[in-house]
Amino acid sequence: MERRFTKDRLRRSMMFVPGNNPGMISDARIYGADSIMLDLEDSVAYTEKDAARLLVHNALKTLDFGRKEVVVRINDLASGLGVLDLEAIIPAGVHVVRLPKTDSAQDVADCEAEIARIERKHGIPEGTVGMMAAIESARGVLNAQSIAAASDRLIGVALGAEDYVTDLKTTRSDGTELLFARSMILNAARAAGIAALDTVYSDVNNEEGFLAEVALIRKLGFDGKSVINPRQIEPLHRSFVPSEKDLKKAYAVMEAIREANARGSGVASLNGKMIDKPVVTRARRLIALAEAVEEVEEV
């Protein structure tokens, strides 16, 4: 079976591109986002759904997105539009389907069943198309663990903050209102071995606020963030580049491990401090991130 998706890849940025905007779709590759998300849901008016679906279908069939991951956010399956979206995008070559308003593992299972049916219908090997789940409600947050573990197709879970804070009967502020949801989603993703993507920052003119939010999600451990404007991509990516100091320390840790192994010793130390397994794991992860960033920037 040849999958169109991979779970282990760089996803610092996932850029929303309205599915009814041919100019943005055709230019999507040049903006530099790690993942391109063509949107058939909230950014498209109901009266334009059919036209947007056809446009996205044709874009998937004809445009060269290079090595970019191409995601399509479909409409809610309960609306009846989501199945029509899947019928259009799966045979056209989409890599990953983003399921909005995911409240339970059953939502994931229902979407997966439709994807599998369409794969079989078109002679596509079952399991070819990936999924990601967007959690946008209090119920979804409380079910984050079961959602993240609901399918082998899932490459990640994402937070949709606007609907979530509305469900909480509050509004977006300094991020305090999102801390519980972010923590639940992040831990669910890590337990399932998939990516955790943060919500959009809608004030595109407030770079200071955007960078503060990016710094927070990096501290929490998120893999990346959804963005709605190309201007947000470069500062977001810059924030995910490991510092020279941290990278130098990571290489020193790995060198100390190699030297200990060469001596036949099970104990390694650096600057007088014993190196334990979590330190090694973090060093490897940091080096892998730096190498992935370098590889993407060379393309």
> Do 104 and 202 fall within a single domain?
yes
20-62 pLDDT per residue, tens: 999 999 999 999 999 999 999 999 999 999 999 999 999 999 9
pLDDT at 297: 64
- Three-state DSSP at 226 gives strand
Chain centre to alpha carbon of residue 51:
26
CATH number at residue 106: 3.20.20.60
Phi and psi, residue 168, nearest 5°:
-80, -10
Residues 144, 197, single domain; the answer is yes
Distances (CA, A) of 100 to 51, 217, 287: 20, 21, 33
Average pLDDT over residues 101-128: 98
Q: Are residues 156 and 225 in the same domain?
A: yes
| Model confidence band, residue 119 (pLDDT cutoffs 50, 70, 90) | very high
Residues 81 and 167 in one domain: yes
Give the model's confidence band at 266: pLDDT under 50 very low, under 70 low, under 90 confident, else very high.
low
Give the pLDDT of residue 299.
53
Domain contains 7: no
pLDDT digits (tens, 9 = 90+) for 189-230: 999 999 999 999 999 999 999 999 999 999 999 999 999 999
Query: Which structural domain, as residue segments, surrounds residue 207?
Result: 13-239
249 in a domain, yes or no? yes
The domain boundary, picked from 219, 239, 259, lies at 239
Q: CB under 8 Å to 92, separation ≥6 — which residues?
A: 56, 57, 58, 60, 61
Number of domains in the chain: 2
Domain end call among 220, 239, 258: 239
pLDDT single digits (tens) 151-195? 999 999 999 999 999 999 999 999 999 999 999 999 999 999 999
For residue 1, pLDDT over 50 is answered with no
Q: Note whether 191 and 124 are same-domain residues.
A: yes
Whole-structure pTM value = 0.87
